[in-house]
Amino acid sequence: MSALPLSGIKILDLTRVLAGPLSAQMLADLGAEVIKIERPGGGDDARAFGPPYLKDPEGKQNNNNSFYLCANRNKKSLTVNIAAPEGQEIIRELAKSCDVMMENYKVGDLKRYGLDYESIKAINPGIIYCSVTGFGQTGPYAPRAGYDAILQAMGGLMSVTGHIDGEPGAGPMKVGPSIVDYMTGMNSSIGILAALYHRKVNGGEGQHVDVCLFDTVIAALSHYAQIFLVNGQTPPRRGTWGNGGMPAGVFRCTDGELMLVVGNDGQFQRTCAVLGAPELATDPRFVKNNDRVVHGKEIMAIFAGLFLKKPVAYWLEELEKAGVPSGPINDFSQVFSDPHVRSRGMQVKVNHPLQPDLSLIRNAITFSGTPVKDYRAPPLLGADTKDLLATIGYDEAKVEALKEKKIV
């Protein structure tokens, strides 16, 4: 069995909250050594983002909550006050031996400390320096801070998300989880990996990688945004309706709901047969997918009445037999008890100091030759400070002196 894909890559991670930490976590899963820099005392801002927290055996408050735990496995935690000259020197010393440095401070903030790209490049010309921000390193909004929900709004995602106009509760709606943060983390990882490859095949040249939430959400709107670029019209909110094949959406049954996507004309014919209405497949309004899109409200209303006749399990079984894509609308309990999810090992166990069998979500990438099998729990705040400082020549006495001054 080969080593993990990124074994030997060393990353200095100054990111906080979610997008940057998720990217660094992805790279850590793949074998990179990731040194997470946190503020002494408080740590990553995510540690204060509310309950639930792990239970301390002694009942003491702690800073290991779900928000932090989801994005920081397989890392080492080093506490450093980068506002102090001694802290800045620690970062620069560490950066000398790193392949990658990541940060998500406001544009220009780290220049005050001599930790910007140009300063780090001067001591390590091969460094891949990735900046993750709300709005990017250039443009009129560059100085602004940005959070996921703000970018969902500004980037157009909320304008096309929500109930259909005219329905109760219609209007712009935010996607539940911090999806723009997650996608930005993926883009950051892709950018870093591409820059590492470029450096390897082009003589050791490093570069600055600029990734932001605003660019990411606009690019992620994909075919929706392309509709506007083609005809100048923003697509309407579609609720749970699908984005291509019709009919597609949530249908209520006698005991719950299911999601159906009829992707082509053959699937439509088979669905009509399952629903006991084969005549719909030859109705001139519905024969072709484009016809069904034009008459979407009509076919969706007809299907809605038919699905109300039987329970979810019956329809899912029959649709599966007919080769029509459908599925239940699962809550998280159902997701993690699903036999397919369990067989794919999406829930992994790690040994955390506060919970020996802590559950985490595994990395979603599966390799045949270099599988990701071992996961380490997200570190306690500053857990690796002493060991990491020793690698750059700081003995125990010097570390203790820095602790007294609250530098580490």
Q: Measured between alpha carbons, how far is 66 from 268 in angstroms, rounded to an integer?
A: 42
**Helix runs in 52-178, H state only:** 66-69, 85-95, 117-123, 148-154
24 with 104: CB under 8 angstroms?
A: no
Q: Which of 181, 265, 283, 357 is catalytic?
A: 181
User: What are the structure tokens assigned to 66, written together?
Assistant: 């779900």
Pairing assessment for the beta strands 128-133 and 207-212 based on DSSP bridges: parallel
Q: Name the amino acid, one letter, at 59.
A: G
Indicate if 210 belongs to the active site. no
Residue 142: exposed, middle, or buried by beta-carbon count in 10 A (0-12, 13-18, 19+)? middle
Residue 321: exposed, middle, or buried by beta-carbon count in 10 A (0-12, 13-18, 19+)? exposed
Q: Measured between alpha carbons, how far is 195 from 384 in angstroms, rounded to an integer?
A: 28
Q: Measured between alpha carbons, how far is 345 from 130 in angstroms, rounded to an integer?
A: 31
Longest dimension (CA), the chain: 84
Of 107, 92, 74, the closest CA to residue 12 belongs to: 92
Q: Measured between alpha carbons, how far is 118 from 145 in angstroms, rounded to an integer?
A: 22
DSSP annotation string for 190-220: HHHHHHHHHHHHTTS--EEEEEEHHHHHHHH
Of 1, 3, 12, 5, the closest CA to residue 391 belongs to: 12
Query: Which residues form the catalytic set?
Result: 181
